[in-house]
Structure 1
């Protein structure tokens, strides 16, 4: 039998095989025993533990609350700070006015539209600046093609590895009526450009890339051969640095000379060219050999811009009468139509050279004298060629017989002019 003990708890032992419920109210047969209450703690004398005290709210002085107004307007305050500021605004008119102004300012900063810049803005700004304020030392127009073509070739060479630098390249040009070739490498082509550009560099007072290396004659071919012979080993990628530096120095120097320096004679050994034509000549050869290099390593390479291509074509067209006269003196072209040459400045028989496509135009080529004047009234033949095709003909890369030309008129005159164009080429 069990009953309540001194502490009021119950002992649930069974006696004689059956429970004894005693005087417990509400407990019937088969019900589980009541769960006893926990014993009272000795330490708290049976009383419940007191609730923890609430955390003390921080107290902010007026200067602190005023300094928090900017952060509150930007929603950058903590919860306690925001509550304190908002309560303060209800009792401080000056701070409330300041908070309102700050909130309005924040609203102006948060525009609904996108703040991303127009992608074309930078280009438009640069174009406008360059139009209003050109470079302090602008590159002369007659040197711009050289500047552009050397930059394009340098970009082509930038990622070349050793295999590309030693890739075989065959230089091609015409000598007389025969096609001529010379085998070299990509590095050898850059050495060739370095040597021939040195003709212009020396005339401008810059260092000669050949240094003390002697050459039999100051012609492009002799200078190149002398440079190649002086190299103990075939040229390597190391030749790019001096070529690049020399091209930069040439552009910088001719820019300082201004427009008046373009008439300075540049000796090529067998002939002279004024500086403005020599720079075009070097631009033309740079492009031609860049194409040779690109073909050797199977890289794409575009022709020059139409503006620069037109200048190169114009130079070749202006050189045709002299080339035709030299071929006539060598017995490679038909003699002049008249017994005596046409006087300088007088109109004579002419061929109309029509260049189609990029950089195109029309030129009247005097046939009987280099000093004669081209005349539409004395036109005896008409040749039409694509601009790039004509340049490749002048570079010796297209045989005159295979030039895709539209031809009308005097066949002999047409043949002489096409072969004269090919004779402009050289190594």
Structure 2
């Protein structure tokens, strides 16, 4: 009614569209409950379903259950596991569970880093194993790069860790002793001697070799600490070589994690401290070698006031 008491004009008289309620049979309305719960019905269907729910108790109960189920499918928080959970659990196990045969303190970083990398590799499919990775290192003053895959990186670790295996009297993954070959020479030799491209099949021998190295130095009770490990142009005591390989494992594990877009944490602080200590101890010798080969200027004398 208008304020003057007269009835409002009929909208149909002005030619306006008047919506007509959608009339549907019960079985059709019941079949629409799922779509209604997902808010996938048209406006007319929604009106028809909601009008029906006021009259049909059975459908109203079903609609309520469906809406609750839809609510579970749209949780604001992700149901995926934290990608770093595996690493945290592994770190906790390594910290709290003492091994039956104690691992020498100087071999613990290698044991931990190879275990972390092994855990990362466990769930890899073929696509991840063939993900591209670019290795980078320095030769003299020039940076050298080599494009490979995740499987190729593991093959590299297998070949270079073989210098320690050979020093301990274990099998050389190359199948022969290539003299005093350095890491890059050993890697190239291994890549040439195996089918190309590398596949996930390299995981098992790498894993077995890491276990054999840790097991061997543990059984010796530290008596093998004084062994020397040849690295081509230089040698390292066994305990330093194990630290060097722990560092290499960590660096290349990060290369792999970056290639597959997976988070990867640094080593445990006590292990990282040992790696840094090794680098500091090796630095003077490395600088002296560069000076002898003419790649670095002589040391400067600093005058004190």
Which residue in 1 is equivalent to 2:173? 209
Q: Is 1:320 aligned to residue 283 of structure 2?
A: yes
Distance 1:235 1:135 in 2: 33
Moved over 3 A (4+): 214-217
Q: Note the aligned Cα RMSD (angstroms).
A: 2.3
Which residue in 1 is equivalent to 2:126? 162
Displacement of 1:260 = 3.0
Distance 1:186 1:379 in 2: 52
Which residue in 2 is equivalent to 1:305? 268
Q: Is 1:148 aligned to residue 79 of structure 2?
A: no
Which residue in 1 is equivalent to 2:250? 287
Which of 131, 139, 160 aligns to 1:175? It is 139
Which residue in 2 is equivalent to 1:4? none
Distance 1:280 1:193 in 2: 14
Which of 164, 182, 200 aligns to 1:219? It is 182
Which residue in 1 is equivalent to 2:74? none
Residue pair 1:216, 1:222 contacting (<8 A) in 2 also: no
What SS class does the counterpart of residue 269 from structure 1 fall into? Answer: coil
Listed as ranges, the matches of 1:194-205 within 5 Å are 194-205=158-169
Residue pair 1:191, 1:235 contacting (<8 A) in 2 also: yes
Structure with the largest fraction of helix: 2
Displacement of 1:215 = 4.1
Which of 213, 229, 233 aligns to 2:192? It is 229
Listed as ranges, the matches of 1:377-392 within 5 Å are none
- TM-score after normalising by structure 1: 0.47
Residue pair 2:136, 2:143 contacting (<8 A) in 1 also: yes
Q: Is 1:336 aligned to residue 299 of structure 2?
A: yes
Displacement of 1:257 = 1.5
Which of 182, 185, 189 aligns to 2:149? It is 185
Q: Is 1:268 aligned to residue 231 of structure 2?
A: yes
Distance 2:101 2:242 in 1: 18
Structure with the largest fraction of strand: 1
Which residue in 1 is equivalent to 2:212? 249
Residue pair 2:180, 2:230 contacting (<8 A) in 1 also: no
What SS class does the counterpart of residue 211 from structure 1 fall into? Answer: coil
Residue pair 2:106, 2:243 contacting (<8 A) in 1 also: yes
Residue pair 2:291, 2:297 contacting (<8 A) in 1 also: yes
Which residue in 2 is equivalent to 1:139? 103
Distance 2:248 2:304 in 1: 31
Question: In the comparison of the two structures, how many residue pairs are matched?
Answer: 212
Residue pair 1:217, 1:223 contacting (<8 A) in 2 also: no
Displacement of 1:224 = 0.7
- TM-score after normalising by structure 2: 0.65
Displacement of 1:177 = 2.1
Residue pair 2:225, 2:239 contacting (<8 A) in 1 also: yes
Change (3 A) 1:379 1:290: farther
Gaps spanning 5+ residues in structure 1: where?
1-125, 339-348, 350-377, 381-427
Distance 2:105 2:261 in 1: 32
Change (3 A) 1:225 1:206: same
Displacement of 1:332 = 2.1
Larger Rg: 1
Change (3 A) 1:379 1:147: farther
Change (3 A) 1:135 1:149: closer
What SS class does the counterpart of residue 101 from structure 2 fall into? Answer: coil
What SS class does the counterpart of residue 226 from structure 1 fall into? Answer: helix
Superposed CA deviations along residues 21-57 of structure 1, whole A, max 9, x for unmatched, are xxxxxxxxxxxxxxxxxxxxxxxxxxxxxxxxxxxxx
Residue pair 1:167, 1:296 contacting (<8 A) in 2 also: yes
Displacement of 1:233 = 2.4
Distance 1:176 1:321 in 2: 16
